[in-house]
Amino acid sequence: MTKHKKYEDVVKKWPVIDRINAAKKCVEALTHRIQDVLELHAANKIIQYSRILSDQIPMSQAANAFNTFQHAMYSQEVVRLLAVWDRAAEYAVSIPTVVALIDNDDVVDALSLETFNAHAGQGVRHLNPSDDPEIQDAIDVEFAKHELEFAETQAELAMKTLKACIGKVGEIQKRTKTTSIRNLRDHLSHSLSKTRQEVKNEVPNTKYGDEKELLELTVRLIEDLYCWVNGTSFDIAGDCMEKASKCADELWLNCRFDIEKP
């Protein structure tokens, strides 16, 4: 059987520009995948973690159906969240895939330079230019100086943040809670008596709510990657979560069950 090369080894041979372009596409796709998870998370705040719906359902066959629904919604959130952490691969839309593409000094330097170029040499539009050419020249020089300093600061921040992201990904993957919730995902996704991880070592049980902590860490990482790989900000934790919550509230807070006790 032919052994496939690790994706990290494959991309080492790619030109820097190809690695950057692939990383940009993957990060863009990640923003859509994480919004799906946020929508599930917002719904589960009501379905799984509140009694708003469950208190309306008496002991009955309907309660069994509701329990199945709760489990399915919780399972789907866990499965979709952990998919974002799947190992690096050509077609895997995951954070490790992005890291495999950018974990290289030349790539980080190139992204830092992109940030610098995005802020340097843009020029300033003067709404009230001076009538005195000498004064205006002095103003232009000062503005150009500040613009250059800002571009340099942003480039340094890009380099620092990208390297920090690469390190954080490794740390998050090694966390005991991440191992536990990944192990749960494997049970939810496959019909297994034991996972590969359980065969190797004893795996601590996941607690309800562990997925929330991992989701928050994931969102912050994707926001940073989007900012410094794709060159623009995206308020996932704020705007996207707020929109997901409004949609979930509008549906689930208006659901009413009228079930007779048996």
The domain segmentation of the chain, as residue ranges, is 7-105+163-252
HSE at residue 74, side-chain half, CA atoms within 13 A, is: 21
- Torsion angle defined by CA atoms of residues 88, 94, 97 and 98, in that order, rounded to the nearest 10 degrees: -170
- Distance, CA of 262 to CA of 245 (rounded, Å): 34
Average pLDDT of span 64-89: 96
Average pLDDT of span 226-234: 94
- Distance, CA of 106 to CA of 143 (rounded, Å): 31
In the chain, pLDDT over 90 holds for what percent of residues? Answer: 78
Average pLDDT of span 205-222: 95
Tokens for 169, please give them: 């990904």
**Higher-scoring residue by pLDDT: 3, 1:** 3
CA-closest candidate to residue 206, choices 175, 182, 186? 182
9-13, 130-134, 212-216: lowest mean pLDDT where? 130-134
Overall size of the chain counted in residues:
262
pLDDT band per the 50, 70, 90 thresholds, residue 144: low
**Higher-scoring residue by pLDDT: 246, 1:** 246
According to the model, what pLDDT value does residue 51 have? Answer: 95
- Mean pLDDT (the chain, rounded): 91
For the segment 14-49, what is each residue's pLDDT rounded down to a tens digit? 999 999 999 999 999 999 999 999 999 999 999 999
pLDDT band per the 50, 70, 90 thresholds, residue 119: confident
**Higher-scoring residue by pLDDT: 262, 235:** 235
Average pLDDT of span 56-61: 91
- Distance, CA of 228 to CA of 236 (rounded, Å): 15
Average pLDDT of span 78-104: 97
Sequence-separated (6 or more) residues with CB below 8 Å from residue 22: 11, 14, 101
31-35, 79-83, 182-186, 199-203: lowest mean pLDDT where? 199-203
pTM of the model: 0.89
pLDDT band per the 50, 70, 90 thresholds, residue 1: very low
